[in-house]
Structure 1
Amino acid sequence: MLASDVDGILDAQTLAYPDFLLESAEFFLNRLALAPAHCWIASASGHEGVLGYLISYPWDAGLPPALGVSLAVLPDHADHWFLHDCAVVPAAQGLGVGQALLRTAATQAMDQGLHRASLVSLESAVGYWLRHGYVPITGQDDALTEKLAGYGPEARYMSRSFPL
């Protein structure tokens, strides 16, 4: 991903999510600045625009970051790969774009020594992530419940071991 891809990511995001989940250009630029090796886009020759994107970064085993909030730094002792967002435009769904993004980014994370993957799943995607070996983190406390509220009703914090 490059800074010049952000407009295409914003377009793809608008096609993939309801308005309350949309994040700003500043958010994407923040994550790109912090973790450029963990931010990816998918495109194809002959197709205008971004087909999909994946935003991730090293994280710790604590609470997930709040939706849409810029980070000043990443955790010093990150052991998780946090998959913040993976979206595919409707016209490219079913073509393996999401799988390719996930596989490429996870391989990069494992190569950098990260041991687990975590994410916040929207209610509509929980089954998808379950099929990929992620399991909901149980025993939610008030702080986690508050973080998940920004992602919509029935959002789940999920995790799995590497390799994928």
Structure 2
Amino acid sequence: MLGRRVAVMTLQIELMRLHDLDQVLDVQADVYDTDILEDRHFYQNRLDLSPESCWVARDRDGQLQGYLVSYPWAGLLPPSLGDTLEELPSLADQWFIHDCAVRRHGQGRGIAGALLRTGRQYARQRGLRRGSLVSLGPSVDYWLKRGYQPVQGMEPAVLENKLRQYGQQARFMHCLLPLD
């Protein structure tokens, strides 16, 4: 039986820095539709609030191939898309993935997986045993394969109203994070 061959890139995962934001915006524009793009101010806000939970992936030539913006979060609803946060919850109960994006030509090469492993390690070190995210319609299957499930038990109208800003078919999803 022949397996699918995947070219794995040599990567360096490092904390995101302010000087990375122009390249982060380039990756975002390469991956998402223009109606959900977030601006530099948004990314700088999240980086200012949680610099220890935002990373970039560089190839062997030092080119930024992907990024992960995440932070501690609390509650039954995700943050609003694009809103500036004044502070993060002091009693966080989850690791929220706001955005994980990889340049189109780098997809399928292990970049997102490397970023997510780094993020899960961060979450475990801080005692966050649950992960959450808002999955855009096309990526729901990706997250289902990684153990995320749609959040249940929330008043449907409240959740639908919150998710509407993320686009059609957006889903608020969560999973338990392994202790390993």
Normalising by the smaller structure, the TM-score range is: over 0.9
Q: Hey, what does 2:146 align to over in structure 1?
A: 132
**Which of 171, 174, 178 is the equivalent residue of 1:156?**
171
From 51, 65, 68, give the equivalent of 2:65. Answer: 51
Query: Could you tell me how far 1:140 is from its partner in structure 2?
Result: 4.0
Look up the match of 1:70.
84
Is structure 2 residue 13 aligned with structure 1 residue 5?
A: no
Once the two structures are TM-superposed, the CA of residue 47 in structure 1 deviates from its matched residue by: 5.2
In structure 1, distance between residues paired with 2:62 and 2:104: 13
8 Å CA contact retained: 2:72, 2:92? yes
Give 1:71's aligned amino acid.
L
Instruction: Please say which structure displays the higher CA radius of gyration.
Output: 2
State the Cα RMSD in Å.
1.2
CA distance in 1, matches of 2:159, 2:19: 34
In structure 2, distance between residues paired with 1:129 and 1:15: 20
TM-score norm. by structure 1 comes to 0.95
SS in 1 for 2:86: coil
Residues 76 and 154 of structure 2 are in contact (CA less than 8 Å); yes or no, is this contact kept in structure 1? no
* Alpha-carbon separation, structure 2, partners of 1:18 and 1:138: 28
Gapped regions of structure 1 (runs ≥ 5): none
Where does structure 2 lack aligned partners over 5 or more consecutive residues? 1-15
C-alpha separation between the residues in 2 aligned to 1:27 and 1:110?
A: 26
Say if 2:131 and 2:177, in contact at 8 Å, map to a contact too. Answer: yes
* Aligned residue pairs, count: 163
SS in 2 for 1:150: helix
- Name 2:9's counterpart in structure 1: none
CA distance in 1, matches of 2:126, 2:111: 23
Aligned residue type for 2:55: W
Where does residue 115 of structure 1 map in the other structure?
129
SS at match of 1:58: strand
Deviation at 1:150, TM superposition (A): 0.8
TM-score, length basis structure 2: 0.87
Aligned sequence identity (%): 47
How far off is 1:108 after superposition? 0.8
